[in-house]
């Protein structure tokens, strides 16, 4: 019989069998019931002027088929490998100083530039959207993100005609991010989209959640949300956005390309090599619900992949 040994960096199957994880988590939450709500908020010091921009007006075009996940569930069950492999990254993530924060725009653009996140927000404005989020580990949540369409950032960047992809890079600072000292990960965290994907209305740059600036564990001060793809496409704490002719090599693809690909569109019919993707555990509830193709956003995004049937669109 073939005994499969885990390599240290693999997401263990147990992360994808949320029954056990979920029950442990509930026990933890139960025993920590007295925990001050404020400790979930995390986040470094934020300028009062920034906080005044929240809550932003909600864009009602984005509706959910399920209740919003309470922050006490989504805010202490996070993937942020820079701060460790456990789901409880909150205390460690608070070491990240998120203000001031500069975003670098480079690659195939009219003129590379840097912009402070506060300036960027003032330039483009903010709105709130209710989005589903489906992790490749088969858990999900529904959250009110605050941010702006990625297409607005693309317009500011003025990409050249040769730009075919957009590449997102997370901060790199081994001194404060213990996960980045683990040598077998291909740091920094990198993700990417095609230009048509980046131009889709759903592709969102996120600066806040639950009506306030992003707490650190969610990827402060700026991340993306690509709700029709597995959650790992939504890179956190981004410092650089580059426009490229070639497809970026992404973090997870670099680590294990047989399990995590570039496209990573949600599809319940295509199992992960080590677990089913047919259903998902909704954070904060006892329910498992069926997973929907493109995480329920088929109408908005299926057209992006016409004629690409030969690609590994769902890994």
List interacting residues with ligand MTE (CB under 6 A): 78-82, 135, 170, 189, 218-219, 231-232, 234-237
Please report how close the Cβ of residue 310 comes to ligand MTE at its closest, in angstroms: 26
CB 128 within 8 A of CB 214: no
Taking the least distance from each CB to ligand MTE, the nearer of 16 and 154 is: 16
Taking the least distance from each CB to ligand MTE, the nearer of 140 and 244 is: 140
Please report how close the Cβ of residue 63 comes to ligand MTE at its closest, in angstroms: 20
Tell me the β-bridge partners of 159: 109
Enumerate the H helices of the chain as residue ranges. 18-31, 38-41, 48-51, 71-74, 90-93, 117-124, 150-157, 195-199, 251-255, 298-301
Calpha distance 242→104 (Å, rounded): 8
Taking the least distance from each CB to ligand MTE, the nearer of 108 and 137 is: 137
Rg (the chain; Cα; Å): 19
Please report how close the Cβ of residue 2 comes to ligand MTE at its closest, in angstroms: 27
Which residue number places its CB atom closest to ligand MTE? 231
Contacts of residue 30, Cβ cutoff 8 Å, sequence gap at least 6 = none
- The bridge status of strand 139-149 relative to strand 279-282 is parallel
Phi, psi dihedrals of residue 172, rounded to the nearest 5°:
-130, 115
- The bridge status of strand 223-225 relative to strand 238-244 is unpaired
- Tokens 């980045």 appear where? 180
Please report how close the Cβ of residue 192 comes to ligand MTE at its closest, in angstroms: 13
Taking the least distance from each CB to ligand MTE, the nearer of 108 and 117 is: 117
Calpha distance 282→122 (Å, rounded): 34
CB 150 within 8 A of CB 167: no
Taking the least distance from each CB to ligand MTE, the nearer of 82 and 118 is: 82
- Binding residues for Mo-molybdopterin, as ranges, are 78, 81-82, 135, 170, 223, 234-236
Enumerate the H helices of 139-203 as residue ranges. 150-157, 195-199
Please report how close the Cβ of residue 304 comes to ligand MTE at its closest, in angstroms: 21
Extract the tokens encoding 84: 């460790």
Taking the least distance from each CB to ligand MTE, the nearer of 101 and 218 is: 218
Please report how close the Cβ of residue 37 comes to ligand MTE at its closest, in angstroms: 18
Tell me the β-bridge partners of 193: 166
Contacts of residue 21, Cβ cutoff 8 Å, sequence gap at least 6 = 14, 15, 87, 139
């Amino acid at each position: 019989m073939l005994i499969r040994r885990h390599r240290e960096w693999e997401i263990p199957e147990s992360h994808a069998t949320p029954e056990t994880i979920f029950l442990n988590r509930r026990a933890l939450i139960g025993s920590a019931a007295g925990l001050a709500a404020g400790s979930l908020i995390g986040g470094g010091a934020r300028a009062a002027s920034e906080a005044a921009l929240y809550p932003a007006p909600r864009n009602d075009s984005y509706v959910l088929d399920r209740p919003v996940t309470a922050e006490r569930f989504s805010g202490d069950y996070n993937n942020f490998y820079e701060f460790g492999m456990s789901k409880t990254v909150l205390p460690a993530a608070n070491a990240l100083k998120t203000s001031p924060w500069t975003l670098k725009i480079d690659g195939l653009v009219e003129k590379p530039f840097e912009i402070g996140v506060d300036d960027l927000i003032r330039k483009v404005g903010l709105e709130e959207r209710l989005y589903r989020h489906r992790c490749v580990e088969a858990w999900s949540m529904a959250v009110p993100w605050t941010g702006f369409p990625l297409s607005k950032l693309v317009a500011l960047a003025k990409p050249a005609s040769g730009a075919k992809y957009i590449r997102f890079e997370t901060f790199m600072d081994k001194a404060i991010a213990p996960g980045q000292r683990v040598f077998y990960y291909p740091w920094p965290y990198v993700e990417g989209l095609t230009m048509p994907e980046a131009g889709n209305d759903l592709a969102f740059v996120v600066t806040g959640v639950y009506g306030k600036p992003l707490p650190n564990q969610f990827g402060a001060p700026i991340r993306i949300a690509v709700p029709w793809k597995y959650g790992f496409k939504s890179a956190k704490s981004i410092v650089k956005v580059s426009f490229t002719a070639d497809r970026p090599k992404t973090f997870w693809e670099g680590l294990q390309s047989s399990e995590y690909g570039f496209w990573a569109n949600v599809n319940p019919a295509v199992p992960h090599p080590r677990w089913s993707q047919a259903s998902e555990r909704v954070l904060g509830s006892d329910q498992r619900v069926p997973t929907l193709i493109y995480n329920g956003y088929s109408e908005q995004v299926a057209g992006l992949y016409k004629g690409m049937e030969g690609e590994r669109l769902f890994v």
